[in-house]
Structure 1
Amino acid sequence: MARHDRLVMLTTLAVLQALTIVIGVYAMATGFNLGALTSQPSPTRPTASPADGSSPVPVVTAGPVLAQLSVKSGDGPLPTKGTLTQQLTRALGDKALGDRVGAIVLDAATGTQIFASNADVGMTPASTTKIITCAAALASLGPDSHLSTRVVQGSKPGTAVLVGGGDTFLAGPSAKETYPKQASLATLANRTAATLKAQGLQKISLYYDTSLFVGNPIAPGWKQNYIPDGEVAPVYALAIDEGRQDPRYNQPRVANPPQYAAAAFARLLAKKGIAVGKTIRPTKAAAGAAELARVDSAPLYALVEHTLTRSDNDLAEALARHVAIKEGQPASFEGGNKAVIAVLRRLGVGEGISLADGSGLSIRNRISPHALAKVVAMAGSAKYPDLHAVATGLPIAGFSGTLGNGRRFTAADSKDQVGNVRAKTGTINNVNTLAGLATTKEGRLVTFAFMADRVPVIAEPVLDRLAAIVARS
């Protein structure tokens, strides 16, 4: 590897880490809300890390994105296998991990296996599942795609249909500005009102269409407390603020996200001088119905970064369904799982993956450490530019997302690697996982996955120690 390529890689990672620090300093100085970059799980108990022709048009695509991003492996020597093996083996024997642990370390450039233990065993991945879901979304839909929410002409004069496009990140009336910038229900109402007034209408009957997503809105393997506790909302193609009653808080989630979104839309129209009939009913928009207005989400690569940094369960499930639609499967949990695995197989990493949902909340998911590490390696490779958002979305140890919550990489055996590890966390009851990348002390880019799914209480500090061992090797 040329010295120039190594410098590009190191500079890219350094800039990303420095940018996170700068944002944090700015937030403390100005009071800016870093909600899109941080997660605050409960400190008292383990929690989930945080068509046919008539179908709506959910995704807008454009050309390639991130073409200039060059995340390449450094040309430093590989870590000494004997020393690394000894240190990792000792750490993997920690009783906090329980009696079922898998681990792997790969050279990002060549795929050379540096260390492995139960690396091909399918294990419960928790939220590291999102790495797989997001990689499939980027590969299938393209990083510059958008999710679209529309309003179309109803079947009768004086009617309109709010058509859910599967953008669960759609901002409701009381949402605050975030990164990435959310598509706005208020903007959609403004555009709709302007069109209706131009047609001479001041009163309409409003309907809403959620037909883009099908099947059970609750995944097999989800625990009964997930929705009441605010870990996730039932999955529908139409929702605002991911089904939150108040976008500032995870709970409570509303009982009927589509109806709640449609009622909020009606109130916004009324403020713009368009009266809406009292009854708002579900329907299916007619094929080819004239479009009155639309709003588009942030590009998919930004949604992926948010999903991984924040461990956003709702958006992960929506992305899995969009992969299903693109791959010709039903937009359900089952269809999304089949489609995601099919895309990963096209990329050459489909082995060792069995899914029941896209977020990792389901205890039925199984992913091998080898599969996780391979996908991370691809995301950090110049050969797969469409997948780079997976790498850039991984939380930075001690600074962002689920690794910047004040609980991770704080122990004496890991805090020296703050800023030098990027990884996705996974935490549900009795499951702790960590998968990501690090630059060794000699400048070699490596990827790793550490998974434990029979954890007695919690093993996050041990996983941090394992990643730190890799980074300082």
Structure 2
Amino acid sequence: MARHDRLVMLVTLAMLQVLTIVIGVYAMTTGFSLGALTGGPSPTEPTASPPDGSPSIPVITSGPVLAQLPVRSGDGPLPTKGTLTQQLTRALGDKAIGDRVGAVVLDAATGERIFASGADTAVTPASTTKIVICAAALAALGPDTRLSTKVVQGARPGTVILVGGGDPLLAGPSAKATYPKQAGLATLAARTAATLKSQGVKKVTLSYDTSLFAGPSTPQGWKSSYIPDGNVATVHALAMDEGRQNPRYNAPRVPDPPQYAAAAFARLLDKEGIAVSKSVRAGKAAAGAPELAKVDSAPLYSLVEHTLTQSDNDYAEALMRHVAIKEGQEASFAGGEKAVIAVLQRLGAAQGVSSLSDGSGLSIRNRISPYALAKIIAMAGSPNYPDLHAIASGMPIAGFSGTLGNGRRFVASDSKGQVGLVRAKTGTLNNVNTLAGLATTKDGRLVTFAFMADQVPVNAEPVLDRLAAIVARS
């Protein structure tokens, strides 16, 4: 997508976010439920306690929202450090957050630390890992990059190969339209069939190539329950609907995503009038094999926004591997770690990123500091790093979207007044709660923050919401 078109899309997204807030104000005064207008997928992060699974957003009962959201340049005066320090320190003393907590608040414009406590200690980040992965992907690949799934000619006449392009959102035949718009197997089958018919071919032998990605399909640090519970699928270069058996539900995930996708493609070819032999097996496309058809993903910036808003574990893993490919590393968990850190070093943002066992943050072996996350978010909001802007626009909005719009966040009396005023990425594992994002202070200063705890007794999400709310109203 051209840069002009991308800017138009970003403006459109901003307008939609304002519309969402307006609907929230309407909900305050009428009792209308925003849940009637929402129905996106539930968060994919494992939680310390089972989620209720409801995608609806509760009626907002406090405000006013729009009255606190003027158009600001982000360069107002800094908040009073003494007052902010006192309030944050008091909140960090809450026993619910546990004994190991890191916290930082940065001035987005200058990088100055407005508040810091354990800010440089790398801890388990959970899904805030995705901030780091998305930053590296945008910087290495560029925001307009698209991922292609192709069908190429096989070595023998009458043979074709479905080549995985590392796009786990490739839509199967029963998937419904979504944003970002997904590349679809049905479209790929129709284009392939048209090419084959033009060549006089009506029967083929199909194989599939997953060689774009390498290494194990699961990393160290994942619980054995993650895949059966539907938190993530095994990682492959070819998958449809992120390995879901039914695209509407996270579970179950299929045991062999590439073979499952290839079998579905064979059925779609048959519907298009191309007979496919019964045996569909893994294979390897020759270098330079003639292309018969392809479909492209949405541009990377919209995929990053999706990954952050919905905390999409599968897409984060794919992005990590694409960074590895771009950087000349093996497209595996280990190669991805090397590549992401190398990109961050070029950006000057590697300090505090000490271990990346995966891209999704499901691994308990990952280690990132609060300062590293807050710095990357500040860069994403800076005009000096335009390619990173999708990180800022992809952050969930408190009380409205993604993993902050699930009806469990920013609902307490000490945080619900900042609904709509905080944008942040969540992180949740057993005994781990993290929150990193950005807000504009009451005097119009743009700040970024990260609050991270990885020895949580039960659930520290309300405390994290309180901390972010303190920043937003400081």
What is the TM-score with the length of structure 1 in the denominator? 0.89
1:35 is aligned, of 26, 36, 40, to 40
- Kindly provide the amino acid, as one letter, of the partner of residue 452 in structure 2: M
Q: CA RMSD in A?
A: 2.3
- 1:7-29 Cα deviation digits (max 9, x unpaired): xxxx9997463143468899989
Q: Is the 8 A contact 1:376 1:437 kept in 2?
A: yes
Task: Tell me if structure 2 keeps the 8 A contact 1:436–1:447.
Answer: yes
1:23 and 1:163 map into 2 onto residues whose CA distance is 44
Work out whether 1:45 is the aligned partner of 2:46.
no
Determine the structure 2 residue equivalent to 1:176: 176
CA positional deviation for 1:351: 1.3
Question: Which residue pairs with 2:397 in the alignment?
Answer: 396
The offset of 1:352, in angstroms, is 1.0
Mapped pair 1:361 → 2:362: yes
Q: Would you say 1:382 and 2:383 are equivalent positions?
A: yes
1:225 and 1:335 map into 2 onto residues whose CA distance is: 25
Q: Write the distance in 2 (CA, Å) between the matches of 1:451 and 1:29.
A: 30
Q: 1:43 to 1:128 in 2, by over 3 A?
A: closer
CA separation of 1:358/1:29 partners in 2, compared to 1, >3 Å: closer, same or farther? Answer: closer
1:197 partnered with 2:197 = yes
Query: Is contact 1:153-1:160 (8 Å) kept?
Result: yes
Mapping of residues 431-470 of structure 1, within 5 Å: 431-470=432-471
In 2, Cα distance between equivalents of 1:82 and 1:12: 39
SS at match of 2:123: coil
3-state SS in 1 of match to 2:238 = coil
Q: Helix, strand or coil for the counterpart of 1:451?
A: strand
* Structure 1 residue identity aligned to 2:457: P
CA pair 75-93 structure 1, distance change in 2 beyond 3 A: same
Counterpart contact for 2:404–2:426, Cα < 8 Å: yes
1:165-215: CA deviations, max 9, x gaps?
A: 000010001001000000000000000000011111111000000000000
- The offset of 1:41, in angstroms, is 6.8
Task: Report deviation, 1:132.
Answer: 0.3
Is the contact made by 1:35 and 1:178 (CA closer than 8 Å) also made in structure 2? no
Q: Which moves more between the two structures, 73-82 or 381-390?
A: 73-82
SS of the aligned residue for 2:105 comes to strand
Equivalent pair of 1:321/1:333 in contact (CA under 8 Å):
yes
CA contact (8 A) 1:73 1:381 kept: no
Partner residue in 2 for 1:164: 164
Is 1:104–1:370's contact at 8 Å kept on the other side of the alignment? yes
Contact persistence 1:72–1:382 (CA under 8 A): no
Contact 1:73 1:109 in 2 (8 A): no
Q: Residues 350-409 of structure 1, C-alpha deviation per residue, up to 9 Å, x if partnerless?
A: 011121001100000000000000000000111100000000000000000000000000
Tell me the secondary structure at the aligned position of residue 173 of structure 1: coil
> Could you tell me how far 1:220 is from its partner in structure 2?
1.1
Question: What corresponds to 2:419 in structure 1?
Answer: 418
SS of equivalent residue, structure 2 residue 410:
coil
Counterpart-to-counterpart distance in 2, 1:169 and 1:203: 28
| TM-score in terms of structure 2 length | 0.89
| Mapped contact 1:72–1:109 kept (Cα < 8 A) | no
Aligned-pair CA distance for 1:42? 8.1
Change (3 A) 1:360 1:72: farther
Question: C-alpha separation between the residues in 2 aligned to 1:249 and 1:222?
Answer: 21
Q: Would the alpha carbon gap of residues 34 and 385 (structure 1) be closer, same or farther in structure 2, given more than 3 Å must change?
A: farther
Q: Give the secondary-structure state (helix, strand or coil) at the position aligned to 2:177.
A: coil
Secondary structure at 1:88's aligned position in 2? Answer: helix
CA distance in 1, matches of 2:257, 2:295: 18
**Residue in 1 that maps onto 2:132:** 132
What's the % identity of the aligned pairs?
75
Quick one: structure 1 residues 150 and 23, their matched pair in 2 at CA, closer, same or farther if it must change by over 3 Å?
farther
Q: Distance in 2 between matches of 1:221 and 1:117?
A: 27
Could you tell me which residue of structure 2 aligns to residue 408 of structure 1?
409
| Structure 2 residue aligned with 1:153 | 153
Counterpart position of 2:236? 236
Q: Could you tell me which amino acid in structure 2 is paired with residue 360 of structure 1? A: G
TM-superposed CA distance for 1:156, in Å, is: 0.3
**Cα separation, partners in 2 of 1:202 and 1:72, compared to 1, 3 Å:** farther
Alpha-carbon distance in 1 for matches of 2:326, 2:78: 40
- Where do residues 41-80 of structure 1 align in structure 2 (5 Å cutoff)? 45=49, 74-80=74-80
Q: Residue 60 of structure 1 corresponds to which residue in structure 2?
A: none
C-alpha contact (below 8 Å) 1:411/1:461 kept by paired residues? yes
Amino acid at match of 2:450: A
Q: CA deviation at 1:39?
A: 3.2
Report the Cα distance in structure 1 between the residues aligned to 2:208 and 2:413, rounded to whole angstroms. Answer: 54
**Residues 297 and 31 of structure 1, relative CA distance in 2, 3 Å threshold:** farther
Alignment match, 1:330: 330
* Aligned partners of 2:45 and 2:127 also within 8 Å: no
The answer to whether the Cα contact below 8 Å between 1:40 and 1:405 also exists between their aligned partners in 2 is no
